[in-house]
A and B are shown apart, each in its own frame.
Chain A
Amino acid sequence: MTVSDRQNHKPETGAFFQRDRDWHAPALTPGYKTSILRAPQKALLSLDNTISEITGPVFGHSMLGELDNDLIHNFAKPGESAIGERIIVHGRVLDERGRPVAGALLEFWQANAGGRYRHKKETYLAALDPNFGGCGRTITDDEGYYFFRTIKPGAYPWPNGVNDWRPAHIHFSIFGHGFAQRLITQMYFEGDPMIWKCPIVNTIPDRRAIEQLIAPLDWSNTIPMDARAYKFDIVLRGRRSTFFENRPEGN
């Protein structure tokens, strides 16, 4: 589809499928200690979507800078680059019906190769990389595809249990087409033995839901003598068709 085709394409306005809250982590997960005082204790108020949740902000490709999806270079001095294992992360954003989500804004952030975040509250003794900031963003194309280039983040210790370490991970923030689709999650790397030890990973009760967060090595898209590739598909909530709604959308 061209841009003009998309503008002529009638947007979908149905309510989103209800969230399966047995698939997601519950709010209270004592193994992840900070959740104890930050988890609501009363039941959520259930509500079918209104127009306040069916709508949401949509961002245009024009907001992106040239290096926004290149974390190896977007904070580096001219002619230099971040240190670490060079990788490409790519995939599709789909909804639960398997349809591509075009125009979805993805933002990502991560530690450097040594597991050190560029954040003033971070005190881990591993060094900062002067050429690595750790943030990036992109917008999916008409088929829902996205990609970015980065260095593989390192594991890092955190004060939860005495000896807890996070597996290597990249944080993702995703906007779909409605505010009810808003999602933040984390991507892990195939074969990392620390995934199954992590109290944050283990907040998710269903092993299949965890496996859906693990990106496989994608040898086919690895660029010889340059960067390996990992493929990470993201699924947002599907939406009902409006055929059977008793009122036209928006009412």
Chain B
Amino acid sequence: MVQELGYLKETASQTAGPYVHIGLTPNFCGIPGVYKSDLGASMVNDKTLGQRITVKGRVIDGAGMPLKDALIEIWQADAGGLYNSPAEMRGTADPNFTGWGRCPTSAEDGVFTFETVKPGRVPFKDGRLMAPHITFWIVARGINIGLHTRMYFPDEAEANAEDPLLARIEYRHRAETLVAAGTAPSYTFDIHLQGEKETVFLDI
């Protein structure tokens, strides 16, 4: 016998279910008055630094149907490439930018929308700069554990070409699934859960 490592096991994930909005966006789903506003509904204010952008998209299932009950969260650096997090050791992020947003997909057409700023570049583990990107986390009925992915920008071809994560994608055409469509300041990022256009999801 050897010593016990003594680690605990992570609590297992379960689906967020169809009524995730009750807990995470109660005002959106018609439960007013408990919270003043839904958390993550606004990422910027009048003083936020950087280029304002809009990111819209849908989450599409294996039958080509947009999910109308999904919930998306995004996490990103500010315009200067700093994260608004206590674990950010390289400097202090823009105090007028949260870096984190939350949006349910619409019950009518399945579209999510974030009003944010274009993130600056942040370093990979070895010091190389990653291309500007936004981290996405997707939960919904039918999804047993939240899906992580990243959105990159179509107008950053040079940075994308040297991005260490994009370079790790063995099937080159699949890297395109992480690059949004559109032009500044309006981007569209559709997430395909399965099938030919399946988005690259990350085990991070």
- A positions within 8 Å CB-CB of B: 11-13, 17-21, 23-27, 29, 32, 34-42, 44-59, 63, 65, 67-68, 74-75, 94-98, 107-109, 117-122, 133-137, 171, 173, 177-180, 182-186, 200-201, 203-204, 206, 208-210, 212-213, 234-238, 247-251
Shortest CB-to-CB span from B110 to chain A, Å, is 13
**Chain B interface SS verdict (over half):** loop
> Does B44 lie at the interface of the complex (its beta carbon under 8 Å from any beta carbon of A)?
no
- In the bound complex, do residue A173 and residue B23 qualify as a contact, i.e. CB atoms below 8 Å apart? yes
- In the bound complex, do residue A19 and residue B10 qualify as a contact, i.e. CB atoms below 8 Å apart? yes
Shortest CB-to-CB span from B156 to chain A, Å, is 15
Q: A75-B31, A121-B18, A137-B35 given; name 7 further pairs at CB < 8 Å.
A: A39-B194, A47-B202, A133-B34, A171-B20, A173-B23, A208-B9, A209-B12
> Does B114 lie at the interface of the complex (its beta carbon under 8 Å from any beta carbon of A)?
no
> Does B168 lie at the interface of the complex (its beta carbon under 8 Å from any beta carbon of A)?
yes
- In the bound complex, do residue A250 and residue B137 qualify as a contact, i.e. CB atoms below 8 Å apart? no
Shortest CB-to-CB span from A165 to chain B, Å, is 14
> Does B203 lie at the interface of the complex (its beta carbon under 8 Å from any beta carbon of A)?
yes
CA A234 to CA B137, docked complex, whole Å: 20
- B positions within 8 Å CB-CB of A: 6-24, 26, 29-31, 33-36, 39, 61-63, 65, 67, 69, 73, 75-77, 83-90, 98-100, 107, 122-127, 130, 133, 135, 137, 139-148, 150, 165, 168-169, 174, 193-195, 198-204
Please judge, given known A-B contacts A13-B89, A68-B35, whether A121 and B19 are in contact too, CB under 8 Å.
yes
Sort A-B residue pairs by CB-CB distance and give the 4 closest, nearest first: A109-B23, A34-B142, A55-B85, A38-B142
CA A29 to CA B143, docked complex, whole Å: 10
- In the bound complex, do residue B98 and residue A57 qualify as a contact, i.e. CB atoms below 8 Å apart? yes
Please judge, given known A-B contacts A35-B142, A97-B7, whether A250 and B89 are in contact too, CB under 8 Å.
yes
Shortest CB-to-CB span from B146 to chain A, Å, is 6
B12 / chain A contacts, CB cutoff of 8 Å: 23-25, 185, 204, 206, 209-210, 212-213
Would you list 28 pairs from A and B whose C-beta atoms are within 8 A, ordered by A residue? A19-B10, A23-B9, A24-B144, A34-B142, A35-B144, A36-B142, A37-B61, A39-B143, A40-B201, A45-B169, A51-B122, A52-B122, A53-B148, A74-B34, A109-B20, A135-B23, A171-B14, A171-B16, A171-B23, A182-B146, A184-B13, A184-B146, A185-B14, A209-B12, A213-B12, A238-B8, A247-B127, A251-B126
Please judge, given known A-B contacts A32-B144, A179-B75, A251-B125, whether A184 and B139 are in contact too, CB under 8 Å.
yes
Shortest CB-to-CB span from A117 to chain B, Å, is 5
B135 / chain A contacts, CB cutoff of 8 Å: 52-53, 179
Q: Which of B77, B100, B141, B200 interacts with A57 by CB under 8 Å?
A: B100
Q: Which of B122, B144, B168, B202 interacts with A25 by CB under 8 Å?
A: B144
